[in-house]
Structure 1
Amino acid sequence: MPDVAILGQVALGYSPYIAKNRSVSATRLTVFPLKPDAALDTAQLLEAVAGVWPADGAKVSLNVAGESLLQDLMRARPAGNVMIEIPAFMACDATNTAAIVALRANGNELLLKGRPLVELPREVLPCFKYSIIDLSDDRRLDGTQPPPGVKRSIPHLQGGVRTIAEMEQAFARGAEAVLGWPIDDAIQAGDQAAAGQADMQTMVELIRQVDAAEPIDKLENTLKRDPSLAFRLMRYINSPAFGLRVEISSFRHAIMMLGYKRLKRWLALLLATASKDVNMKPVMFAAVRRGLLMEELGRSSSDEEMRSELFICGVFSLLDRVFRQPFAELLANIPVPGRVYEALAEESGPFQPYLHMVRAVESGSLFDFREAADALMLGVSEINRAQLRALTAASQLE
């Protein structure tokens, strides 16, 4: 990860672009300058972005919250996989027309953020692939349909989505994709979903056996009950993110190479991504990134066991959404370290500040970011580098 000065001058946050099939089509990287009047190096920002999203890699959308930095970015030449979000007031300003037209000619997808208060310049409108309409600003929320023949001039994306219901409703209203984390659905006691419980039982049993260091033969017999689980486990272990130099060819080989402790973390990852409900795809996407980010935030500690537990805490932090059970009930059946239980079921303990930091990153709020960073006593640059490392590792798992 490039050690560039700008990582200490901005606060980063990330969220997904969710397509109609509920897959994540791109990542939105929000960039908040810590000092609005500071001169920032756009080339450094693009260097940091390219470290995670190379030109031949996945798409990333830059949501820059500082006008000066965005002006510089609009006059740069980002790689073709970099999308740029441009606020409506800047798109309407004729002084930006040439830069917007040049960005489009460079091959960058442009996104119009917000509703223009005046008509866009004639040359500018065709440059935008989508408009981003925040949920709080969508005039169609009451269900009324526009007059016959009246359509939005640009296909739209729905921003500010926080629940599964909001996501479904946005697609029903014609959104091409949604932006946000649909993870805020309320969980009620006794609200356990029947779907996926068989898969969960197999994985929970396997996690228990690994936790108890039972013989390999017993673990293999449990795994044989679910061939798809065995396949996914082998795929994860052989992914670039795992960093092994030899290919793992069997579950027995995996245990010999990894040991029980390292194997347990990947079983935790499998459990968090077990749901077959298509609406859970973005939730599982978030869970993987939470685990990797919490582990990276703990990198400065020399306590390897703590970092491993932080990973499990992050990965498990959305299990209540995946299986629709409160943590107090859910974790009664899954062996987890005490610090993980405290953070998830009791919202207390030494891991709670790390979880607060992850939520602040997801929220896209500069105030929350600063508050969480102070509580965790980590520098901005360290947090930003942890985010970018985590996002890089996550991309290697998919």
Structure 2
Amino acid sequence: MAQSVLGSLTLGYRPLWNKARALAGVQLFVHADDQGIDGQHLLRTLAEQWSAESPLLLLSPSAPDLLAGLLTHATAGGPAIVVPAAWRDQAGVRDALRMAHQRGVHLLASGAPTALADAGADRWAKQRALRLAPADAANALQAALKSRQAVAGGRMLGRATDSPIGANALVEGVASRALAEHALDQQGAWAVAGWPTEDVLHRYAGQPLPPTRRTIVQAMNALDSEQSLDRIEQMFGQEPSLAYRLFLYLNSAGLGLRNGVSSLRHGFMMLGFRALNTWLAEQLPHASEDANLRPVNATMVMRGHLMEHLMDAGIEDDLRREVYLCGLFAQLDLVLDEPLRASFARIPLADRIVTAAISGTGPYAPSLQVAFALESEDPQPLRALRQAYEMGTEEINRALLRTLSALTR
């Protein structure tokens, strides 16, 4: 049997977030581990994984020859391709780029704002992928500040003409909440690549992250409409803060359950849907309306699902839920603003979760570390983990593609 192209690549990914703080697409970083990667084979493999319901896929190849191979075989209905403006005149790229443009391939010109203006990207690119340097970010924030100062109450005016961020752009290098809001809410950017999680959570410093009203209401509606236990579990698993609060309640002395509850499903069966609905209603006064929390929570959910796929070797459902919980709670220290050890000590989590998240040991540790490493465009940490844990390249890449293709737009 011919070797799959996925065995010769190191992949990484980054979610893209739109104005509604919903998933606009995913950026897939493609690094060749061997020479002569077949671009047609890779595109065909991706097409087999993707469906009409899958999110928009952007491919970011790491080398000009890999880019040229993808451009040569890309089609209008396939993934979008990110083209660094500096590579436009590289051998093999120029002609492939011209032909891909004629075929209607979705192309994004990538580079600094000034570089893209000089490259004449508007002639061949459908969109721009702006890579903001610190100076660009500072200029954008200054433009946003001027807009706020121009009106009473600090509200934003329309688009700022002196900002390096333009409409319909993909913006990379967004390191602050203010810059994300300027790009998406004021300038009409199509999406931002990644999310400034630490800065978004800084406003909650010193207190646990509240669950969002949106998720609580969705869970209550699911209970009222008597949806399946799987669906109810999925609702609670959308936010680590809500899931953790429920674990605290289920294991509280006041509730009086004899044995510790270490899984959401077990808790639902012990508590009952009526009592669960009542508990959710009690959370509403403490809920947040902050839309900027949606990408924070969704990123942790992706990590949980990615761990499920990385460890999918016929494990039974209870273990799969436990693996997911490991990924969901791996950054609970950010959610609760306290050390993981303190948070985990309050609830009876499986030792496999605790050791993986705190000490990086145990059976779940390799998958958790690989899941984190996949959230990057730098291939070196992932390559080191593959070697250290003797994990298969193709298996990791297939797990990633299964996870990303199943995401909901």
SS at match of 2:31: strand
Larger RCO (CA within 8 A; separation ≥ 6): 2
Partner residue of 1:328 out of 332, 335, 341: 341
> 2:273 maps to what in 1?
220
Cα deviation per residue 1:274-308 (whole Å; 9 max; x = unaligned)?
Answer: 97531122122222221121122223476876544
Cα deviation per residue 1:216-244 (whole Å; 9 max; x = unaligned)?
Answer: 47322322326799xxxxxxxxxxxxxxx
- Counterpart of 1:295, as a letter, is E
- Structure 2 matches for 1:344-359, cutoff 5 A? 344-359=357-372
> 1:192 maps to what in 2?
208
> 1:290 maps to what in 2?
303
Contact 2:64/2:93 (8 A) holds in 1: no
**How far has the Cα of 1:85 moved from its partner?**
0.2
Contact 1:112/1:128 (8 A) holds in 2: yes
- Structure 2 matches for 1:12-161, cutoff 5 A? 12-35=11-34, 38-54=35-51, 57-92=54-89, 96-115=93-112, 116=115, 119-120=118-119, 125-136=122-133, 138-142=135-139, 143-145=141-143, 155=167, 156-161=169-174
Q: 1:328 to 1:222 in 2, by over 3 A?
A: farther
TM-score scaled by structure 2? Answer: 0.70
Once residues 62 and 295 of structure 2 are traced to their aligned partners in structure 1, the CA distance between those partners, rounded to angstroms, is: 24
TM-score scaled by structure 1? Answer: 0.72
Q: 1:99 to 1:151 in 2, by over 3 A?
A: farther
**How far has the Cα of 1:65 moved from its partner?**
0.7
Contact 1:4/1:48 (8 A) holds in 2: no
Aligned length, in residue pairs: 346
- Counterpart of 1:99, as a letter, is A
Once residues 171 and 59 of structure 1 are traced to their aligned partners in structure 2, the CA distance between those partners, rounded to angstroms, is: 18
Once residues 79 and 60 of structure 1 are traced to their aligned partners in structure 2, the CA distance between those partners, rounded to angstroms, is: 13
Contact 1:25/1:59 (8 A) holds in 2: yes
Once residues 202 and 172 of structure 1 are traced to their aligned partners in structure 2, the CA distance between those partners, rounded to angstroms, is: 32
**How far has the Cα of 1:139 moved from its partner?**
2.5
1:310 aligns with 2:323: yes
1:338 aligns with 2:351: yes
- Counterpart of 1:223, as a letter, is L
Once residues 385 and 149 of structure 1 are traced to their aligned partners in structure 2, the CA distance between those partners, rounded to angstroms, is: 44
> 1:203 maps to what in 2?
246
Q: 1:379 to 1:342 in 2, by over 3 A?
A: same
Once residues 80 and 106 of structure 1 are traced to their aligned partners in structure 2, the CA distance between those partners, rounded to angstroms, is: 10
**How far has the Cα of 1:4 moved from its partner?**
5.7
**How far has the Cα of 1:369 moved from its partner?**
1.1
**What is the aligned-residue identity percentage?**
28
**How far has the Cα of 1:383 moved from its partner?**
0.8
Contact 1:13/1:363 (8 A) holds in 2: yes
**How far has the Cα of 1:181 moved from its partner?**
4.2
> 2:196 maps to what in 1?
182
Structure 2 unaligned blocks of 5 or more: 145-159, 217-241, 252-256
Once residues 250 and 193 of structure 2 are traced to their aligned partners in structure 1, the CA distance between those partners, rounded to angstroms, is: 34
